[in-house]
Amino acid sequence: MVSVKDISNANNLSQQRRRCWLYNVEQMPYKIAWEWQRSLVAERINNPDVDDALILLEHPPVYTLGQGASLDFINFDLNQTKWEVHRIERGGEVTYHCPGQLVGYPILNLRYYQQDLHWYLRQLEEVLILVLSVYGLEGYRIAGMTGVWVEDRKVAAIGIKVSKWITMHGFALNICPDLSGFEQIIPCGIVDKAVGSLEQLIPGIDFNQVRQQVAVAFAEVFNVELVRTN
């Protein structure tokens, strides 16, 4: 027989929120952030009880290719380029990072959420859709693709890697970047959709305010307690 106390304890457990350390970082070279992520993932693989983490930052101009990305989507010679390029372990095709784009790297143990990668991708999209709604913008998904669109323009890209249910890599939201860097590639391998930014829709949008809204939406969607580190 289940007692009132048992029900109460079960409800308390279901309502408990994971603690997630929030690292708000200024511009950081891609390779340094990449190594940082790897170290955070390794720490959590060795000790699954360690709190989750969310890194929010910007990168200097850099191109990244997913582990299976096709070079057909790059419009420059990798052997004669001035661009910084990295092939990394996430899924997806080629993308571009630069200042004015907010990049988010959640380091989550999905055993505490849902052990379902499709669920996780949809949750990341939901975070960004919630942020857009704050500004009166209707973000939406496209079936069979990953990311978030507004008015036929892709404003957010997502690419992840999961090791022993610990996540790394994440999302990139175009707030006020110089979009010309995307002209050197076919972003995410999508030939019939343009890349856009929030600034195109809301001139003068405040980057740091959007960063704060992303943190709020992330805490809401994943039901975590964000602990700021700075």
The C-alpha atoms of residue 113 and residue 90 are separated, in whole angstroms, by 20
Phi, psi (degrees; rounded to nearest 5) at 116: -150, 110
Q: Is 68 annotated as a binding residue?
A: no
Q: Is 159 annotated as a binding residue?
A: yes
Q: Is 33 annotated as a binding residue?
A: no
How many C-beta atoms lie closer than 10 Å to residue 221's C-beta?
A: 17
Q: Which of 12, 22, 109, 85 is nearest to 57 (CA)?
A: 22
188 has catalytic annotation = yes
Residue with structure tokens 């200097």? 60
Q: Is 172 annotated as a binding residue?
A: yes
In the chain, the amino acid numbered 136 is G
Phi, psi (degrees; rounded to nearest 5) at 26: -80, -165
The C-alpha atoms of residue 175 and residue 188 are separated, in whole angstroms, by 18
Residue 79: is it exposed, middle or buried by C-beta count within 10 angstroms (0-12/13-18/19+)?
exposed
Q: Is 170 annotated as a binding residue?
A: yes
Q: Is 157 annotated as a binding residue?
A: yes
Q: Is 94 annotated as a binding residue?
A: yes
Q: Is 105 annotated as a binding residue?
A: no
- 198 in Cβ contact with 210 (< 8 Å): yes
Question: Which is catalytic among the residues 20, 98, 176, 188?
Answer: 188
Q: Is 167 annotated as a binding residue?
A: no
The 8-class DSSP code of residue 61 comes to S
Q: Is 181 annotated as a binding residue?
A: no
Q: Is 227 helix (H, G, I), strand (E, B) or coil?
A: strand
The C-alpha atoms of residue 114 and residue 42 are separated, in whole angstroms, by 20
Q: Is 196 annotated as a binding residue?
A: no
Specify binding-site residues. Answer: 90-97, 157-159, 170-172
- Would you name the residues annotated as active-site residues? 188
Specify binding-site residues for substrate. Answer: 90-97, 157-159, 170-172
